[in-house]
C-alpha cells in the first residue's frame, strides 16, 4: 500500500473514531496563503539586580532557573580602543594570553582544571572592552572562580606561549588578507576612521602584530585588566546571596585603576570616494557603501534606525535584498546595518556580487538610498512588519543563559543602563513611520565612501565613470602609494635640413 493511500486510510479512521466519540473533526487547514503571525506577546525580561563589591566592581545579576547553570562575564573598559598607536591587536593578544599560564599553572593544567569542573572559559577584546567569560555548573561557582582569580590576577605570560600565539595570529591575519570579505571590512574601517578610534579591527593586522613584544603584553595587561570600572554580569540558577558572597571572596580585595589612554575619533566624515582593493581575476566583487554615524553614547535614535534599517536592508524582505537578489539576480544576499560603538559607528549597505554587475550594484544601492528619502519613503506597512518582526523575535533571544549574558554585556559595552532591555519592547512599539522616515532623511544621504574588493583591471573603467577619486588599499586596509602620473611621450627631434 502506498504512503498516500496509507495516509488517507489513517485520516478516515481518525474521522470515524472522532465521529463515534461524538467529537467534531478539526477544521480544515487553509493552505491558500501564508499563515499570519501571532500578535505581540507583550513579553519583557525580568529586572536585572545590581550591587557593588567592596572594591567598587559593579555586578549585574539575572536569575534564570530553567537549568542548573551559570553564565558569567567580566567586562574591563577600554578594549581595542586602548591599543597604542601602531599596535592594533595588542589588547586582543593580552586577552588571549591570560590563560596561557597563571599562578604557576601551565596552560594545559589550567585547561584540565576547567574540564574537571565542566567549565568553559573564553576571553576576547571588542572595540570598547576586554571581555572574559565562563559558562559553568551552578554548584561549581566557587571552584570556577578560584581558577578565574588566578587567570585574571596572576597571569604568568610565558615567553614561549607568547611566541606561539603571536605566530598563530600573524598566520591567521595573513590568511584573512586572501578573503575578500575581510579585506573589505578592514578597508572600510580605515576609509571611515583612518588611524583613530574604530579605524582598526580589534584583532589587529599583520603589520601591527609583527611588532608586538612580550613587554608590550605585560604593560598593556597592567594598564587595562584592573578592577576599577569593570562590571561583572551573572545569569543563571543561583541564589543572589551565594553569588554575592562568591564574587566578594574572589574580587573584593582586588585594587587597581586602568591607565591606558583611549583612542579618539579622528577627523570628520570623510569625503565621498571609491576605496579599491585589487583581487586580480576575481569573478565576484565585495561592495560596501557606508558613512559615519554617532556612537551609542551620543545617539538617542537607535530604535528608530533599527526600524528604518529593517526596511531598507536589515531583513530578507528588505528593499535592497529584493532588488539585488530577487529582481536583478546580482547576488545571493544584500544587507545593511547600523554598527555602533561607544564613540562612533557607521551605516553600511553592501553585498557580494557578480563581478560584471559591480557598477550596476553600486547604482542600485544609491538608487535605494535616494528613493527612501524621496519618492518611496518608509510605509506604514513596512513599519508594521519591522516593529512586529523585532517584537516577535525578542523573546527568542532569552532562551539560553549565555545569550542573555551576552546581551547584558553588550549593554555594558554600549553604555546603556541595566534596565534597558526591560523597556525595549515598549519603546520599540512606540516607533512610528514618521520616526523611521526621519532616520532615512538623517542617514541615507551625504558623503558615502564606497569600498570595492575585486579585479581592478576589469572594474576600474566603470568605477572611474562615477566621477569620484579612486584610492587603492592592500588586503590589510593600508593605503597604497599613488601611482606616479604617466609622462606624455617625448616628441621626436626636429630634423634639420642638410646644409
What order of strands is seen across the sheet that includes strand 273-278?
A: 331-340, 344-354, 284-294, 449-454, 273-278, 470-473
Per-residue pLDDT at 496: 44
Q: How far apart are CA 465 and CA 52, in angstroms?
A: 60
Per-residue pLDDT at 29: 77
Per-residue pLDDT at 12: 61
Q: Which of 345, 359, 383, 316 is closest to 455 using CA atoms?
A: 359
399 assigned to some structural domain: yes
Are 209 and 156 part of one and the same domain? yes
| Grid coordinates belonging to 419 | 534596565
DSSP letter for each residue of 447-487: --EEEEEE-HHHHHHHHHTT-S-EEEE-TTSPBPPPPPPPP
Are 184 and 60 part of one and the same domain? yes
CA distances from 257 to 221, 227, 228, 363 (A): 12, 7, 5, 51
Are 440 and 378 contacting, i.e. CB atoms less than 8 angstroms apart? yes
69 assigned to some structural domain: yes
For residue 212, give its domain range: 49-251
Helix (H, G, I), strand (E, B) or coil at 302: helix
229 assigned to some structural domain: yes
Are 306 and 235 part of one and the same domain? no
Residues in the chain: 499
Task: Give me the number of domains the chain comprises.
Answer: 2
366 assigned to some structural domain: yes
| Grid coordinates belonging to 185 | 571590512
Q: Which of 281, 291, 362, 351 is closest to 321 using CA atoms?
A: 351
Are 241 and 291 part of one and the same domain? no
Strand 470-473 to 273-278 pairing: parallel
10 assigned to some structural domain: no
The domain that contains 435 carries what CATH number?
A: 3.30.830.10
Per-residue pLDDT at 15: 57
Are 247 and 200 part of one and the same domain? yes
Helix (H, G, I), strand (E, B) or coil at 105: strand
25 assigned to some structural domain: no
Sequence-separated (6 or more) residues with CB below 8 Å from residue 437: 308, 377, 378
Are 454 and 327 part of one and the same domain? yes
Are 224 and 361 part of one and the same domain? no
Per-residue pLDDT at 7: 60
Are 36 and 94 contacting, i.e. CB atoms less than 8 angstroms apart? no
Q: How far apart are CA 229 and CA 258, in angstroms?
A: 8
488 assigned to some structural domain: no
Q: How far apart are CA 275 and CA 474, in angstroms?
A: 10
381 assigned to some structural domain: yes
Q: Which of 106, 349, 329, 76 is closest to 222 using CA atoms?
A: 76
Are 226 and 97 part of one and the same domain? yes
pLDDT in tens, 86-122: 999 999 999 999 999 999 999 999 999 999 999 999 9
Are 432 and 358 part of one and the same domain? yes
Are 82 and 260 contacting, i.e. CB atoms less than 8 angstroms apart? yes
Q: Name residues of the chain where pLDDT drops below 70.
A: 1-25, 40, 483-499
Are 215 and 311 part of one and the same domain? no
Strand 101-102 to 58-63 pairing: unpaired
| Grid coordinates belonging to 288 | 560596501
Are 53 and 248 contacting, i.e. CB atoms less than 8 angstroms apart? yes
| Grid coordinates belonging to 54 | 567592596
CA distances from 391 to 314, 321, 403 (A): 15, 22, 17
Are 102 and 156 contacting, i.e. CB atoms less than 8 angstroms apart? yes
Per-residue pLDDT at 499: 35
Phi, psi of 398 (to 5 degrees): -115, 20
Are 220 and 157 contacting, i.e. CB atoms less than 8 angstroms apart? no
Q: How far apart are CA 490 and CA 15, in angstroms?
A: 96
Are 439 and 298 part of one and the same domain? yes
User: Kind and range of the H or E element at 275?
Assistant: strand 273-278
Q: How far apart are CA 298 and CA 347, in angstroms?
A: 15
Are 213 and 309 part of one and the same domain? no
Amino acid at each position: 500500500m502506498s504512503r498516500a493511500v496509507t495516509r488517507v486510510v489513517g485520516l478516515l479512521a481518525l474521522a470515524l473514531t472522532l465521529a463515534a466519540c461524538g467529537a467534531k473533526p478539526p477544521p480544515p487547514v487553509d493552505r491558500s496563503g501564508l499563515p499570519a503571525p501571532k500578535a505581540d506577546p507583550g513579553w519583557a525580561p525580568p529586572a536585572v539586580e545590581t550591587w557593588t563589591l567592596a572594591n567598587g566592581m559593579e555586578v549585574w545579576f539575572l536569575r534564570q532557573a530553567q537549568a542548573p547553570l551559570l553564565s558569567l562575564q567580566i567586562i574591563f573598559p577600554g578594549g581595542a580602543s586602548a591599543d597604542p598607536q601602531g599596535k592594533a591587536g595588542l589588547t586582543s593578544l593580552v586577552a588571549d594570553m591570560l590563560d596561557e599560564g597563571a599562578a604557576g599553572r601551565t596552560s594545559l593544567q589550567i585547561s584540565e582544571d576547567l574540564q574537571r569542573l565542566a567549565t568553559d572559559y573564553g576571553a576576547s577584546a571588542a572595540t570598547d572592552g576586554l571581555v572574559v567569560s565562563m559558562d559553568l555548573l551552578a554548584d561549581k561557582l566557587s571552584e570556577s572562580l578560584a581558577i578565574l582569580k588566578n587567570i585574571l590576577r596572576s597571569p604568568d605570560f610565558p615567553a614561549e606561549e607568547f611566541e606561539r600565539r603571536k605566530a598563530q595570529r600573524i598566520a591567521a591575519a595573513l590568511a584573512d588578507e586572501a578573503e575578500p570579505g575581510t579585506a573589505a571590512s578592514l578597508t572600510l574601517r580605515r576609509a571611515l576612521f583612518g588611524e583613530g578610534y574604530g579605524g582598526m579591527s580589534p584583532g589587529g593586522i599583520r603589520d601591527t602584530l609583527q611588532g608586538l613584544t612580550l613587554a608590550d603584553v605585560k604593560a598593556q595587561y597592567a594598564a587595562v585588566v584592573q578592577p576599577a570600572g569593570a562590571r561583572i554580569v551573572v545569569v543563571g540558577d543561583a541564589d543572589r546571596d551565594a553569588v554575592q558572597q562568591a564574587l566578594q571572596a574572589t574580587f573584593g580585595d582586588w585594587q587597581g585603576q586602568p591607565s591606558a589612554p583611549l583612542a579618539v575619533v579622528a577627523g570628520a566624515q570623510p569625503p565621498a570616494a571609491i576605496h579599491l582593493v585589487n583581487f586580480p581575476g576575481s569573478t565576484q566583487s565585495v561592495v560596501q557603501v557606508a558613512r559615519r554615524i554617532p556612537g551609542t553614547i551620543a545617539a538617542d535614535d537607535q530604535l528608530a534606525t533599527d526600524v528604518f534599517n529593517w526596511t531598507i536592508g536589515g531583513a530578507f524582505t528588505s528593499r535592497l535584498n529584493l532588488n539585488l537578489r530577487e529582481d536583478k539576480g546580482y547576488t545571493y544576499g544584500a544587507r545593511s546595518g547600523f554598527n555602533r560603538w561607544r564613540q562612533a559607528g557607521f551605516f553600511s549597505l553592501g553585498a557580494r556580487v557578480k563581478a560584471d554587475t559591480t557598477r550596476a550594484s553600486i547604482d542600485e544601492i544609491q538608487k535605494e538610498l535616494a528613493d527612501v528619502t524621496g519618492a518611496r519613503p518608509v510605509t506604514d506597512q513596512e513599519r508594521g512588519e519591522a516593529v512586529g518582526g523585532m517584537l516577535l523575535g525578542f523573546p527568542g533571544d532569552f532562551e539560553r543563559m549565555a545569550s542573555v549574558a551576552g546581551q547584558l554585556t553588550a549593554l555594558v559595552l554600549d553604555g546603556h543602563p541595566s534596565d534597558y532591555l526591560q523597556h525595549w519592547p515598549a519603546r520599540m512599539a512606540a516607533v512610528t513611520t514618521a520616526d523611521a522616515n526621519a532616520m532615512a532623511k538623517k542617514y541615507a544621504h551625504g558623503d558615502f565612501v564606497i569600498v570595492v574588493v575585486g579585479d581592478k583591471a576589469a572594474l576600474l573603467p566603470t568605477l572611474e565613470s562615477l566621477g569620484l577619486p579612486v584610492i587603492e588599499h592592500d588586503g590589510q586596509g593600508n593605503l597604497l602609494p599613488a601611482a606616479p602620473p604617466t609622462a606624455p611621450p617625448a616628441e621626436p627631434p626636429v630634423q634639420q635640413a642638410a646644409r
